[in-house]
């Protein structure tokens, strides 16, 4: 029995990316990623990328991802290309799959996926859509800092007087010697 290394890849093309299986995602924000498309064949291939968003087996959206402004792009035989970009969706708590479609067969040859987990807006700063009303319980903060403040005040009060005097810098006067007097 012979094991082939191409078990995890598509026969007509491979796709990889730098996103983990689960991503914290805020709807409407850019999701930056790098997508790698490899052509394992011996001839140049044309590919297209499709983004498919689903929730509980229900299709939310299915759209082509343009590459350099075009739906189809070429990859030389035995080569790969790196595509840097960003995806943006109006949904979260959904599965995102990017499908690699080979033009000649018009079949999906490989895919990558991640889950877009919803981020609570209460943990976001205001400029990213978080809540602008904040309440701070200063008593708990003061309760934590009070022992350190007291230790600092005690340390200053107990500091020896000799150290305090050494810290005061006094200008040093330069002593001038008188010239030797006349000797008669």
User: Distance between CA 116 and CA 91 in Å, rounded?
Assistant: 8
What's residue 8's pLDDT? Answer: 44
77 within 8 A of 39, measured Cβ to Cβ: yes
Tally of domains within the chain: 1
The answer to whether residue 36 sits within a structural domain is: yes
The answer to whether residue 41 sits within a structural domain is: yes
The answer to whether residue 73 sits within a structural domain is: yes
The answer to whether residue 106 sits within a structural domain is: yes
Beta strands per DSSP E along 4-106 = 14-17, 22-25, 30-38, 45-55, 58-65, 73-75, 80-88, 94-102
The answer to whether residue 83 sits within a structural domain is: yes
Find the farthest-apart pair of alpha carbons in the chain and give their distance in angstroms, rounded. 123
What's residue 141's pLDDT? Answer: 59
CATH number of the CATH domain containing 68 = 2.60.40.10
The answer to whether residue 43 sits within a structural domain is: yes
The answer to whether residue 124 sits within a structural domain is: no
pLDDT, tens digit, 9 for 90 and up, residues 111-151 = 999 999 988 655 555 555 555 555 555 556 566 666 767 77
3-state SS class at 23:
strand
The answer to whether residue 145 sits within a structural domain is: no
Domain of residue 33, residue span = 14-118
pLDDT, tens digit, 9 for 90 and up, residues 31-70 = 899 999 999 999 999 999 999 999 998 999 999 999 888 9
């Amino acid at each position: 029995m012979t094991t082939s290394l191409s078990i995890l890849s598509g026969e007509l093309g491979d796709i990889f990316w730098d996103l983990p299986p689960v991503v914290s995602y805020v709807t409407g924000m850019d999701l930056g990623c790098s997508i790698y498309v490899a052509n394992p064949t011996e001839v140049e291939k044309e590919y297209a990328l499709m983004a498919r968003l689903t929730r509980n087996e229900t299709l939310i959206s299915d759209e082509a991802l343009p590459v350099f402004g075009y739906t189809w792009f070429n990859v030389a035989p035995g080569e790969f290309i790196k595509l840097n970009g960003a995806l943006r969706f109006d949904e979260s708590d959904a599965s995102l799959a990017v499908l690699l479609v080979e033009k000649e067969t018009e079949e999906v040859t490989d895919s990558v996926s991640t889950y877009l987990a919803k981020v609570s807006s209460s943990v976001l700063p205001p400029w990213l859509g978080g809540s602008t009303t904040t309440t701070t319980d200063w008593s708990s903060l003061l309760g934590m800092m009070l022992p350190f403040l007291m230790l600092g005040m005690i340390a200053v009060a107990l500091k020896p007087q000799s150290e305090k005097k050494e810290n005061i810098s006094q200008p040093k006067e330069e002593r001038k010697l008188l010239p030797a007097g006349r000797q008669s």
